Amino acid sequence: MLLRRIVAACPQSRRMFSSSVNHGYESAIQELNKEMESVFGVPPANGLASSANNLKNETELPSPNISESSFELTHTGKSGEAQMVDVSPKESSKRKATAVCKVILGKKVFDLVVANQMGKGDVLTVAKIAGITAAKQTSNLIPLCHNINLSHVQVDLRLNHEDFSVTIEGEAASTGKTGVEMEAMTAVSIAGLTVYDMCKAASKDIAITDIRLKHKSGGKSGEYWWTQ
C-alpha cells in the first residue's frame, strides 16, 4: 500500500521507476528513497525496497539450466571452427572396431555374382581388396582422422540368398591413442561401393544400406555394441 501511495503522489518518480525497472533497480530505489524523504520528511521503510525487489524478481525470466556435463563435439573449437583433436595426452591401448553394411543386388545381379559371370571379374574378391586398401587410407579420405598404424584389417563378404544381397563386415585393429571405428566403417563403405561398380553394368537398381558400427573396444569410452 505504501508503494502505491508514493507512486500516485509522485508521478515523476513513477515514470522514473517504470523506465528503469529493467535497467537499474538499485539506482531507481535510491532515487525513490530520496523523493520519499523530501515529501514525507522521513526515510522510507524497508517495505519499499523489498516491494521493488519482488517486482524485479517477477519481471526477470529464468535462464535455461544447461548442464555442465553435456556432450561436446571434439572436432569443433571454441569459436566453432573445425579442428583436429590432440590425442597426445591419451594413453595407448589396444583398439578394435567392427563395422557392417549391406548391398542389395536384386535377383538378376545376385545370380550373376554367384555364378561369377560379371564382366569385370570376381566381385567379392575385388571388393574385399578394395575394403582393406580403403581402411589404410582413411586419414586421406576423411580430413580430421588421425593417421593410424593399423595392426590388422579384415573384410568379409557373405551372399544372402533370402533377399539377394551381400553382407559386408570389416574389422580394424591397432594399438594407439585413438580408435579405429572410422577405419572399419571406411572399409565396408568402399567395399560396398566396389560391389556397385563391379555390378552396375548389369543393373543400376543396387542399394548400399545399413552402414554402421557394430562393435568397438579399447580407449576411454570402453566397449560398445550396436543393439538397435
Domain assignment present for residue 39? The answer is no
Amino acid 57: pLDDT: 53
Residue 199 in any domain: the answer is yes
pLDDT along the chain (228 residues), means of 10: 48 47 61 70 58 50 46 67 78 94 98 97 98 97 92 98 98 95 98 98 97 94 89
Q: What is the distance between the alpha carbons of residues 72 and 83, in angstroms, rounded to a whole number?
A: 13
**pLDDT at 79 (0 to 100):** 72
Q: Computed from CA positions of residues 47, 52, 58, 64, in that sequence, does the dihedral angle turn out positive or negative?
A: negative
**Cα 168 from Cα 82, distance rounded (Å):** 32
Q: Would you say residue 119 lies in a domain? A: yes
Query: Which among 122, 197, 205, 210 is annotated as catalytic?
Result: 197
Given this model, what pLDDT does residue 73 score? 65
Question: Known catalytic residue: 197?
Answer: yes
The answer to whether 188 and 207 have CB atoms below 8 angstroms apart is no
Domain count, the chain: 1
CA distances, 94 to each of 40, 174, 212 (Å) = 81, 6, 21
Report how far residue 42's alpha carbon sits from residue 33's, in angstroms, rounded to the nearest whole number: 9
- What's the pLDDT score for residue 42? 66
Q: Would you say residue 48 lies in a domain? A: no
Q: How confident is the model at residue 21, as a pLDDT?
A: 45
Is the residue at 125 inside a domain? Answer: yes
Q: Check residue 7 and give its pLDDT.
A: 46
> What was the pLDDT predicted at 134?
98
b (16+ CB within 10 A) / e for 111-149: ebbeeeebeeeebbebbbebbbebbbebeeeeeebbebe
The range of the structural domain enclosing residue 197 comes to 96-220
Q: What pTM does this model have?
A: 0.65
- Is residue 226, in this structure, part of any structural domain at all? no
> End-to-end CA distance of the chain, in Å?
64
155: in domain: yes
Residue 9 is assigned to a structural domain of this protein: no
CATH number for 168: 3.30.70.640
